[in-house]
A and B are shown apart, each in its own frame.
Chain A
Amino acid sequence: MKRAANHDVLNLTNIRKIFFAGTVDKVVALNGVDLSVADQEFVTVIGSNGAGKSTLLNVVAGVFPPERGGKVEIQGDEVTRLEEYKHARYVSRVWQEPEVGTSRNLSIEENLSLALLRGRPRTLKKAGNKKRRQIFREALAQIELGLEDRLTAQVGTLSGGQRQALSLVMATISKPSILLLDEHIATLDPRTAQTVMDLTEMIVERERMSTLMVTHNMEMALRYGKRLIMMHKGKIILDIGHDQKKDLKITDLIAAFERAAGEEFTDDNVLLSC
């Protein structure tokens, strides 16, 4: 496979996604998105409901391909029409619901074993071994929830916050090219959300992971990451790099939104979660 000359981890070119095409319910979820994410860049993606944030993550994760004419490249490899499970070689993801990122009926160790082999061929070798258990213990010790001593516990017995923290470890243990966080703390209570977000920041910084984090919360979008992207009606309407982002305030963001989108900012959902 040919490597691109630049150092971008992710290159999206002319990404469009239309749902229910040809019916009265037609929705243009993504309407020509171009985006490049540099290696080790932590990008936050903000936007109101229906802006296309989740659709964008789904395209990167390969849940569905974009419309013809669009192109998705990760690490210089074109993955546009690759099946979802093949994207896993490059992309890992933490979903909004802790239940989606973990398997309830398996133990913590078994969940991590599944995650450790992300994107690699699975064989008839024993899934659990001493060396792997050691890797798991070390990874779990760093999140300081005491899970390293409970490797054999059923994941179904963990709390939502613990499961989401485990999802995060599962998403990062095999060092993906790009980490997708899909409002991954939105369903947690405020304190647990903060804990999981702190863990996220710690892991992303330590592993220098290229990250796309979708959020509803403007304050979070400002506080975390080196770059902020705002989406509206399937387009990127704002792209603020590190230099400007440092001094950015929520009022600036709202003003910028109104300027860029050409309409008054009325999304209670976004405002309330500030």
Chain B
Amino acid sequence: MDLLISILSVAGYEGLIFGLVAIGVYITFRVLGFPDLGVDATFPLGGAVAAVFIVKGTNPLLATSLAFAAGLLAGMITGLLNTKLRISALLSGILMMVGLYSVNLRIMGGANIPLLREITAFDLFSKLTGLHGMALSIALAGLVALFIFFILNWFLRTEIGLALRASGDNEKMLRGLGVDTDKNILIGCSLSNGLVALAGALVAQNQGFCDVGMGIGIIVMALAAIIIGEGLFGHPKGILSILLACFVGTFAYRLFITLALRLGLPPGDLKLITSILVVIALGIPHLRKRMRQEWIPPASRM
């Protein structure tokens, strides 16, 4: 029983925190149709910025906000590479991912920053609520997730948000209706990377250190979570169900991973498992069609 609760609470905390990453990735991949791989580097960027400022004695809430802002900026650069220099979306993200690695090292002044002796947002929240351990992690992650959930639920229904949502589907129509589609990409990429950096900042504070490699493969993890969430929610179209699908999908994915770890799987194998999970989720529907001898459109290269 205790084991079950412990597994569920780990997955719960991670579902909330990494759900933010999933939402960020959802915004680029699904809403904008802009496969931005740069999040692999904006996740540690968020951690790095928060860690450096916290070590300097900055208020952890401010440090976390600055991490969010750094993510916004990084996303904006990715968007600019695509819209102003016409570099493909995929390559823009990869260029950012590679370039930011060096930037992250510079910011951190090394590959790792310990935060165990520093006062983090979690410590502040603990003082405020008296919570400790897992309950504290879940409470703060939940609070942030809830806040973002409400903000996005509002934003995506505004006039600007609505134009953003048509972006991945039909940019030609949007331009015809007077929407600056380049600006759309900038807003979407910024928002997406901001959320990922925010998650990175919180993860670093919760685990007590920031590591330059902590973002590796996070894009695949987020995709796996999105695919699971979409499966569970039957390819949602409404804003509420999309946001929920991201969180629930991440929770289900982390639950699966936590169970796999408990069953004695070496942590090093996780990334392979995640990749295989995504391959299965994407490949099976296709193979099924092939078996039913249905017509299959040519492979997409995007």
Residue A127 interfacial (CB < 8 Å): yes
Q: Is the CB of B165 within 8 A of A126?
A: no
Q: Is the CB of B237 within 8 A of A114?
A: no
Provide the A95-110 mask, 1 if CB < 8 A to any CB of B, else 0.
Answer: 1000111111110001
Q: Is the CB of A122 within 8 A of B160?
A: yes
Residue A273 interfacial (CB < 8 Å): no
Name which of A7-15, A83-91, A194-202 contacts chain B: A83-91
Q: How far is the CA of A106 from the CA of B158 in the complex (A)?
A: 14
Q: Say whether, besides A105-B169, A126-B157, A128-B157, A86 and B162 are in contact (CB < 8 Å).
A: no
**Contact partner, A117, options B161, B178, B180, Cβ 8 Å:** B178
Q: How far is the CA of A38 from the CA of B165 in the complex (A)?
A: 37
Q: How far is the CA of A95 from the CA of B172 in the complex (A)?
A: 10
Residue A118 interfacial (CB < 8 Å): yes
> Chain A residues with Cβ under 8 A from B166's Cβ?
103, 105-106, 110-111, 114
Give, as a whole number of angstroms, the nearest-CB distance from B181 to chain A: 7
* Chain B at the A interface: SS class: helix
Residue B179 interfacial (CB < 8 Å): yes
Provide the B166-197 mask, 1 if CB < 8 A to any CB of A, else 0.
Answer: 10011011111111110000000000000000
Residue A61 interfacial (CB < 8 Å): yes
Residue in chain B with minimal CB distance to A152: B238
Residue in chain B with minimal CB distance to A93: B176
Residue A206 interfacial (CB < 8 Å): no
Q: Is the CB of A123 within 8 A of B176?
A: no
Q: How far is the CA of A100 from the CA of B174 in the complex (A)?
A: 10
Residue A215 interfacial (CB < 8 Å): no
**Which of under 10, 10 to 19, 20 to 34, or 35 or more describes the interface residues of B?**
20 to 34
> Chain B residues with Cβ under 8 A from A101's Cβ?
173, 176
**Which of under 10, 10 to 19, 20 to 34, or 35 or more describes the interface residues of A?**
35 or more
Q: Is the CB of A125 within 8 A of B169?
A: no
Residue B159 interfacial (CB < 8 Å): yes
**Contact partner, A122, options B159, B170, B181, B237, Cβ 8 Å:** B159
Residue A164 interfacial (CB < 8 Å): no
> Chain A residues with Cβ under 8 A from B160's Cβ?
122-124
Q: Say whether, besides A127-B158, A127-B161, A88 and B176 are in contact (CB < 8 Å).
A: yes
**Contact partner, A115, options B170, B177, B180, B181, Cβ 8 Å:** B177
Residue A119 interfacial (CB < 8 Å): yes
Give, as a whole number of angstroms, the nearest-CB distance from A132 to chain B: 11
> Chain A residues with Cβ under 8 A from B159's Cβ?
113, 117, 122-127
> Chain A residues with Cβ under 8 A from B180's Cβ?
83, 85
Residue A92 interfacial (CB < 8 Å): yes
Q: Say whether, besides A123-B159, A124-B160, A85 and B165 are in contact (CB < 8 Å).
A: no
> Chain B residues with Cβ under 8 A from A128's Cβ?
157
Residue A40 interfacial (CB < 8 Å): no
Q: Is the CB of A100 within 8 A of B170?
A: yes
Most chain A beta-carbon neighbours within 10 Å: one of B157, B159, B166, B178: B178
Give, as a whole number of angstroms, the nearest-CB distance from A256 to chain B: 33
> Chain B residues with Cβ under 8 A from A89's Cβ?
178
Give, as a whole number of angstroms, the nearest-CB distance from A31 to chain B: 26
Q: How far is the CA of A89 from the CA of B170 in the complex (A)?
A: 19
**Contact partner, A119, options B155, B165, B173, B178, Cβ 8 Å:** B178
> Chain B residues with Cβ under 8 A from A55's Cβ?
none
Q: How far is the CA of A81 from the CA of B63 in the complex (A)?
A: 45
Give, as a whole number of angstroms, the nearest-CB distance from A216 to chain B: 21
Q: How far is the CA of A114 from the CA of B248 in the complex (A)?
A: 30
Residue B163 interfacial (CB < 8 Å): yes
Residue in chain A with minimal CB distance to B30: A105
Q: Is the CB of A85 within 8 A of B158?
A: no
> Chain B residues with Cβ under 8 A from A93's Cβ?
176
Q: Is the CB of A100 within 8 A of B173?
A: yes
Q: Is the CB of A100 within 8 A of B172?
A: yes
Provide the A137-161 mask, 1 if CB < 8 A to any CB of B, else 0.
Answer: 0000000000000000010000000
Provide the B273-290 mask, 1 if CB < 8 A to any CB of A, else 0.
Answer: 000000000000000000
Give, as a whole number of angstroms, the nearest-CB distance from A123 to chain B: 5
Q: Is the CB of B177 within 8 A of A114?
A: yes
Provide the A235-255 mask, 1 if CB < 8 A to any CB of B, else 0.
Answer: 000000000000000000000
Most chain A beta-carbon neighbours within 10 Å: one of B155, B163, B173, B179: B173
Q: Is the CB of B157 within 8 A of A127?
A: yes
> Chain B residues with Cβ under 8 A from A105's Cβ?
165-166, 169, 237
> Chain B residues with Cβ under 8 A from A84's Cβ?
175-176
**Contact partner, B170, options A83, A92, A102, A127, Cβ 8 Å:** A102
> Chain B residues with Cβ under 8 A from A103's Cβ?
166, 169-170, 173
Give, as a whole number of angstroms, the nearest-CB distance from B239 to chain A: 10
Q: How far is the CA of A113 from the CA of B156 in the complex (A)?
A: 13
Q: How far is the CA of A209 from the CA of B174 in the complex (A)?
A: 22
**Contact partner, B178, options A100, A113, A120, Cβ 8 Å:** A120
> Chain A residues with Cβ under 8 A from B163's Cβ?
114, 122
Residue in chain A with minimal CB distance to B156: A127
Residues of A near any B CB (own CB < 8 A): 61, 83-86, 88-89, 92-93, 95, 99-106, 110-111, 113-115, 117-120, 122-128, 154, 170
Closest 4 CB pairs of A and B: A88-B178, A122-B159, A119-B178, A103-B166
